[in-house]
Amino acid sequence: MRIGVLTGGGDCPGLNPVIRAIVRAALPYGDEVVGIRNGWAGLVNNLPPMELNLTTVTGILHRGGTILGTSRTNPYKDREALSNLKKNWKGLNLDALVAIGGEDTLGVATKLSAEGFPVVGVPKTIDNDLSGTDYTFGFDTAVNVVMEAIDRLHTTAESHHRIMVVEVMGRHAGWIALHAGLAGGADMILIPEFSVTMDEIIGTIQKRHARGKSFSIVVVAEGAQIKGWDLILKTQKKDAFGHVLLGGISHSLGKEIEKRTGFETRVTELGHIQRGGSPTAFDRVLGTRFGVKAVELVKQKKFGHMVALSGAQIISVKIADATRKLKVVDKEFYKLASKFFG
Ligand code: F6P
């Protein structure tokens, strides 16, 4: 078989382990693996594919990012792009394509699969907001990066008796904020799923200070909902999938906290640091298991399916089911976390 592989959407640690695993699992069958560069853009623009073999995938297990490159390309936005993609796909003589991506890339995969293209999906995103799988790779690395940042901010916050506001990624889902905030002992966590009032935030900080604490750490997801506030955007521009680029809520929040509490406040926006660098052991192993399973699905011609983690098992689910609705934080989990606020 001739198997194509592409990585689409925002990059994340663990993509290279998946690519390596696909190659290592496919070669013993005598299959050929080719890498499509820059996500769906590689097919739309007919970029020369990258040969994937033992030589080209050696030494990439521990490397962040993706050797194939990525992009946020939505071929369904433009009729000509879509027809080029289909024509170029046929020209590559692929028997199957493994698409590694989040809701957007796999959303395109769902549509192509419905049109009869042989696609298998692999879920990735640091946001962990894809349905159908317990975890996506990249998430554990991002959570650990944020936890380490919180630990570092903790010591300086304590020394200076300051409030530290830490902004993390997550436009619709607060998984990173919640996990890293819990692991780092944050005193308040604000996420997109559950809105809070400014009075509640101030009250929580004041209550904590009233019991003798002289510093606080507030973790805020970029898409957090503060009642009466608009989402804070980096630019007015939308990406090809219609998403706005968020970022900057921590600055307004920090100013408001300082003004209303009188406590000196500092802000850290972690940004793309959360997405870069080496994957954790968990993400390397999950990526490796996903890659091997993706090849199994290709061999079984289980197209239109995506590999997924369910408990400790790697299973397959329909891509269409996984992309129908985002997986967001449930009330119970947020309630548990809020026991540690203040
Ligand atoms: O990959 C998802 C994500 O990490 C979001 O949490 C974030 O809002 C977005 O990517 C930012 O992506 P970019 O800067 O690459 O457009």
What tens digit of pLDDT does each residue of 8-38 get? 999 999 999 999 999 999 999 999 999 999 9
Distance 11 CA to ligand 1 centre (A): 9
> Percent of the chain, pLDDT > 70?
100
- Supply the pLDDT for residue 231: 86
> How many residues appear in the chain?
342
11 classed as catalytic = no
- Domain end, chosen from 219, 241, 276, is at 276
- Domain end, chosen from 239, 258, 276, is at 276
Both 150 and 268 in a single domain?
Answer: yes
Please check whether residue 338 lies inside any domain of the structure.
Answer: no
Q: Which of 105, 127, 143, 329 to mutate to test the pocket of ligand 1 (most atoms within 8 A of CB)?
A: 127
pLDDT digits (tens, 9 = 90+) for 224-266: 999 999 888 888 888 899 888 888 999 999 999 999 999 999 9
- Domain end, chosen from 276, 302, 337, is at 276
Both 23 and 97 in a single domain?
Answer: yes
Q: In terms of Cα–Cα distance, which of 141, 134, 143, 138 is closest to 126? A: 138
Please check whether residue 342 lies inside any domain of the structure.
Answer: no
Average pLDDT on 64-68 reads 98
CATH number, domain with residue 240? 3.40.50.460
Average pLDDT on 318-340 reads 97
Please check whether residue 340 lies inside any domain of the structure.
Answer: no
Both 147 and 226 in a single domain?
Answer: yes
Q: How many domains does the chain contain in total?
A: 2
Please check whether residue 28 lies inside any domain of the structure.
Answer: yes
Both 107 and 168 in a single domain?
Answer: no
Q: In terms of Cα–Cα distance, which of 54, 112, 123 is closest to 294? A: 123
Distance 291 CA to ligand 1 centre (A): 23
Both 127 and 218 in a single domain?
Answer: no
Both 71 and 94 in a single domain?
Answer: yes
Average pLDDT on 177-186 reads 98
Calculate the dihedral angle through the C-alpha atoms of 84, 85, 89, 92, rounding to the nearest 10 degrees: 60
Please check whether residue 255 lies inside any domain of the structure.
Answer: yes
3-state SS class at 16: helix
- Supply the pLDDT for residue 90: 96
Both 240 and 123 in a single domain?
Answer: no
Ligand 1 binding residues, C-beta < 6 A = 10, 125-127, 169-171, 222, 245-246, 275
CATH number, domain with residue 38? 3.40.50.450
Please check whether residue 339 lies inside any domain of the structure.
Answer: no
Domain of residue 88 covers: 2-137+279-323
Catalytic hit among 127, 129, 140, 187: 127
Rounded Cα–Cα distance for residues 115 and 103 (Å): 18
Tokens matching residue 169: 């990624």
Both 15 and 107 in a single domain?
Answer: yes
Please check whether residue 328 lies inside any domain of the structure.
Answer: no
Rounded Cα–Cα distance for residues 124 and 288 (Å): 12
Both 44 and 132 in a single domain?
Answer: yes
Backbone Cα Rg of the chain: 21
Distance 211 CA to ligand 1 centre (A): 38
Both 153 and 248 in a single domain?
Answer: yes
pLDDT digits (tens, 9 = 90+) for 143-158: 999 999 999 999 999 9
Distance 218 CA to ligand 1 centre (A): 21
Both 258 and 295 in a single domain?
Answer: no
Atom 7, ligand 1: residue with shortest CA distance? 169
Please check whether residue 237 lies inside any domain of the structure.
Answer: yes
Cβ contact 163:216 at 8 Å: yes
Residue 54 has pLDDT above 90, yes or no: yes
Both 168 and 129 in a single domain?
Answer: no
